[in-house]
Structure 1
Amino acid sequence: MSRPACARCQRPLSLCLCALIPALASRTRVLLLQHPSERRHPLNTARLVALGLSNAQLEIGETFADLPLWLADHDAWLLFPGPEALTVNLVPPPAKIESKRLLVIPDGTWRKARLLLHANPLLAALPRLTLPPGAPSRYRVRKAPAPDALSTVEAVVAALNALEAPRRFDALLAPFEALIDGQIAAMGPETFARNHGGPEQRD
């Protein structure tokens, strides 16, 4: 029998993160397009973004028929690397453009995110943004293709911190840190050290 879960954060009641989830406003609208395989994943950080950011929208699917509607009347950018991607700190601030800024983020493994782009040509056609090199991800319990590959919540925080500086959105990371600490505690120090290189290391 599964443990009772919080209806809001969907974590077991004993591990509820709601007290740590902030209520932040942003000028930039954030649209999270989540591959269905991530919906029930215990490390679902896109949901933390949607709960902690009032101007965020989380949609789940492989194709999105309403994508033209969501993009309409917005200055839309796709946060995803590519040869033509512009570093996020080089984008003009929202105050200097007439239309609303929209940051679109595919959520899933790198393979699943690429599948979302392939299945949604309008998404793939958006101008792209990429993050500048930064600190390694704190996502210590999930495999990543490179040390600087970030979780969705980390990527959103880094992007918004650049787009809306000097405002900061680091409070979104509080439930994420608690989520990771809880996963490490649940697996035990020996298992964590064996699979992830120890308490102070990453893959």
Structure 2
Amino acid sequence: MPQASSRQRCADCFRPLSHCLCHLIPKLWPDTQVLVIQHPDESSHALNTARLLVRGLVNAHLLVTESLDEHPEWVARLTDVGWRNELLFPGPGAAQLAPEADHRPRRLVLLDGTWRKARKLLYLNPVLQALPQVRLAGGLVSRYRIRKVPEVGALSTIEAGAEALAVLHPGFAREQLLAPFDALIEGQIQAMGQRRYQRNYQNKP
């Protein structure tokens, strides 16, 4: 059922009903489990790509919190040595993500928020600090054409998740996962108009 508000939104993709993206969201099931830890300030953001990422993966979870102490069940899961838990975060000691052989099931943790808030999530949660950090290869270009990225190579949460799963699982349907994201961005560009888009984004270095 749509959520009641001044502008009715889909309860699944949280987009306005007139721009619902659910018909584009796949149901993919890679072997790697994905956990997105989202800073609470991001949960109501109009361009919430973490929600689209998790909705497109059967084996994914979205946890909106600043402190994992409030979720002891996830602390237990992230410290379970029977799992290969890794944090996708470009820290100074992060290893490049690769599909290495390991008998354990793999769980990839992503932090959703601005860079400042993502670093705060890491700082506030020792269980995250203890996880091995992995990073994507350099040179990736974001499709997020309506947001000024803080640095070259910065990706949205759904893009980072899609790229990571494509690395870990060759043949993974990355484009299917990104289809609602592409539609979201294109819809925003159409809503603002080409002239405003070109002035504010397209012509920026």
| TM-score normalized by the length of structure 1 | 0.91
Structure 1 runs not aligned, ≥5 long: none
Moved more, 170-179 or 1-10: 1-10
RMSD, aligned CA: 1.4
Matched, 1:78 2:87: yes
Query: 1 CA distance for matches of 2:89 and 2:57?
Result: 20
Structure 2 runs not aligned, ≥5 long: none
Matched, 1:194 2:203: no
Q: CA deviation at 1:192?
A: 1.2
- Indicate the residue corresponding to 1:114 in structure 2: 119
Q: Residue type matched to 2:76 in 1?
A: L
Assess if the C-alpha contact under 8 Å between 2:30 and 2:172 holds in 1. Answer: no
Query: 2 CA distance for matches of 1:11 and 1:167?
Result: 26
Assess if the C-alpha contact under 8 Å between 2:145 and 2:202 holds in 1. Answer: no
Q: Which 4+ runs in 1 deviate beyond 4 A? A: none
Query: 1 CA distance for matches of 2:172 and 2:26?
Result: 15
Identity of matched residues, %: 49
Q: CA deviation at 1:13?
A: 0.3
Query: 1 CA distance for matches of 2:172 and 2:144?
Result: 23
Query: 2 CA distance for matches of 1:137 and 1:62?
Result: 26
- Indicate the residue corresponding to 1:49 in structure 2: 53
- Indicate the residue corresponding to 1:133 in structure 2: 138
| TM-score normalized by the length of structure 2 | 0.91
Q: Residue type matched to 2:84 in 1?
A: D
Moved more, 186-195 or 78-87: 186-195
- Secondary structure of the structure 1 residue equivalent to 2:84: strand
Equivalent in 81, 88, 92 of residue 97 of structure 2: 88
Q: CA deviation at 1:197?
A: 2.5
Q: CA deviation at 1:145?
A: 1.3
Q: Output one character per residue of 1:140-177: Cα deviation in whole Å (capped at 9) or x when no partner.
A: 11121123110000000110000111333321100000
Query: 2 CA distance for matches of 1:147 and 1:110?
Result: 13
